[in-house]
Amino acid sequence: MRTYRLAVLGFGNVGQGFAQILKEQGALLAQRFGAQFSIVAVSDLQKGSVYNPDGLDPATLLAAIQTKGNFDDVRAPQRGWDALVTIAKSNADIVIELTYTDLRTGEPALTHLRAALQNGKHVVTTNKGPIALAFPELDQMARSKNLEIGVEGTVMSGTPVIRIGREMLVAAGIKRIQGIFNGTTNFILTQMETGASYAAALADAQAKGYAEADPVGDVEGYDAAGKVVILSNLLMDAPLTMTEVDRVGITQLDAQQIAQAQAAGECWKLLGTIEKVNGQVRASVRPTRVPLRHPLAAVKGATNAIVYTTELLGDVTVVGPGAGRRETGFALVCDLLAIHRKLRG
Ligand code: HSE
């Protein structure tokens, strides 16, 4: 049995989903994979910070948030450490970065990831900001120190797409990637097809925990553009930046346009596309009308989908959850198990 000590930075939806999975599946993971994942530190700006070098019980952490909304009553030998002190002083082997996403600066997550790597700790994150903005730099840093970076949850939450792409489909020659990469907007478009208003559908997406803290990132297509940048960097060897993605969101779509598409046997989807044309990579995020017989038309609600068009296999499609606390929490488990497999040899 190998034990990994984890420092969790940010304990919002995803952090709580992850703790829930460890609470429910921890014993199974240990039995099935020989890996024990022990949360030793949690540091959250609003909820407080607790550190116990011998481990904190996920059930206790979750109960504290459910009853009081903070860690004030959680017994721990050390309290009050901010993220950077937690990284520097805790005995964690792996830092799990789950602070809020900022696709303009990547902060504060970018500083946290750099500090973790500098301190010799592996990192796992679902935060799109630093990965969309600085993956090459972080990857280089990690390689130079023989450390791992897990980013599976940055695209399509726990649905495995990045690892499948990087480790398997790259060898089949990926020419084009297209998909539905934002759960909130797909949920809104689906709800509007059944007559809901845009505002009611957005409020519902927020209540269900799909939307970003600032939902402008979802509805204006920035979130999907961030994922397009991540996919192009990691899977197509094309170091695009956010400004190079031709981006349009869904805020200009009204009930009439939704109805017009339906009358024509089509539906609206916010599609992200990365394509190699004459050796150049082009990327876009655009609301697009697709025929109802198109495979992506059947993808409803917060579900996401990705179609890899490859030289050797033709189209390979993966459909699955694209958002949600447990769904995204699960991506962290996949990345942790990948680190375990690598270190175990
Ligand atoms: N706000 C994002 C979405 C969460 O709706 O897809 C997952 O990245």
Q: 222-235 and 128-144 are packed helices; what angle lies between their axes, rounded to 10 degrees?
A: 20
Beta-bridge partners for 42: 8, 50
CA 294 from centre of chain: 26
Q: Which residue has the tokens 């397009």?
A: 228
**Ligand 1 pocket residue status of 322, Cβ below 6 Å:** yes
**Ligand 1 pocket residue status of 179, Cβ below 6 Å:** no
**Ligand 1 pocket residue status of 183, Cβ below 6 Å:** yes
* 56 and 142 co-located in one domain: yes
* 310 and 177 co-located in one domain: yes
**Ligand 1 pocket residue status of 321, Cβ below 6 Å:** no
pLDDT at 214: 87
pLDDT at 178: 98
What is the 8-class DSSP label of residue 3?
E
**Ligand 1 pocket residue status of 268, Cβ below 6 Å:** no
Q: Is 141 helix (H, G, I), strand (E, B) or coil?
A: helix
**Ligand 1 pocket residue status of 339, Cβ below 6 Å:** no
Instruction: Read off the CATH number of the domain in which 166 is found.
Output: 3.30.360.10
Query: Can you give the residue range of the structural domain that contains 178?
Result: 162-321
pLDDT at 252: 95
The total number of structural domains in the chain stands at: 2
Q: SS3 string of 163-178?
A: HHHHHCHHHHCEEEEE
Residue whose CB lies within 8 A of the most ligand 1 atoms, among 13, 210, 220, for a mutation test: 210
* 217 and 274 co-located in one domain: yes
* 220 and 114 co-located in one domain: no
Strands of the chain, DSSP E: 2-9, 35-44, 48-51, 78-79, 94-97, 122-125, 149-150, 174-180, 246-247, 266-277, 280-291, 303-310, 314-321
**CA 73 – ligand 1 centroid, Å:** 32
Which residue's alpha carbon is nearest to atom 4 within ligand 1? 323
**CA 326 – ligand 1 centroid, Å:** 13
**Ligand 1 pocket residue status of 184, Cβ below 6 Å:** yes
Which residue's alpha carbon is nearest to atom 7 within ligand 1? 323
**Could you identify the atom of ligand 1 that is nearest to the CA of residue 215?**
1
pLDDT at 243: 96
**CA 341 – ligand 1 centroid, Å:** 28
* 337 and 222 co-located in one domain: no
Instruction: Read off the CATH number of the domain in which 60 is found.
Output: 3.40.50.720
198, 215 in Cβ contact below 8 A? no
* 118 and 223 co-located in one domain: no
pLDDT at 281: 93
Which positions are catalytic? 227
**CA 321 – ligand 1 centroid, Å:** 10
**Ligand 1 pocket residue status of 210, Cβ below 6 Å:** yes
Which residue's alpha carbon is nearest to atom 8 within ligand 1? 323
**Ligand 1 pocket residue status of 218, Cβ below 6 Å:** yes
**CA 91 – ligand 1 centroid, Å:** 32
pLDDT at 277: 87
**Could you identify the atom of ligand 1 that is nearest to the CA of residue 322?**
6
**Ligand 1 pocket residue status of 323, Cβ below 6 Å:** yes
* 291 and 334 co-located in one domain: no
**CA 344 – ligand 1 centroid, Å:** 33
Q: Is 246 helix (H, G, I), strand (E, B) or coil?
A: strand
* 72 and 153 co-located in one domain: yes
* 146 and 236 co-located in one domain: no
pLDDT at 29: 97
pLDDT at 209: 85
* 77 and 181 co-located in one domain: no
* 107 and 148 co-located in one domain: yes
**Could you identify the atom of ligand 1 that is nearest to the CA of residue 186?**
5
* 171 and 132 co-located in one domain: no
Residue whose CB lies within 8 A of the most ligand 1 atoms, among 101, 125, 162, 184, for a mutation test: 184
**CA 22 – ligand 1 centroid, Å:** 22
* Residue-level pLDDT, tens digit, the chain, 345 residues: 999 999 999 999 999 999 999 999 999 999 999 999 999 999 999 999 999 999 999 999 999 999 999 999 999 999 999 999 999 999 999 999 999 999 999 999 999 999 999 999 999 999 999 999 999 999 999 999 999 999 999 999 999 999 999 999 999 999 999 999 999 999 999 999 999 999 999 999 999 988 888 899 999 999 999 999 999 999 999 889 999 999 999 999 999 999 999 999 999 999 999 998 888 899 999 999 999 999 999 999 999 999 999 999 999 999 999 988 999 999 999 999 999 999 998
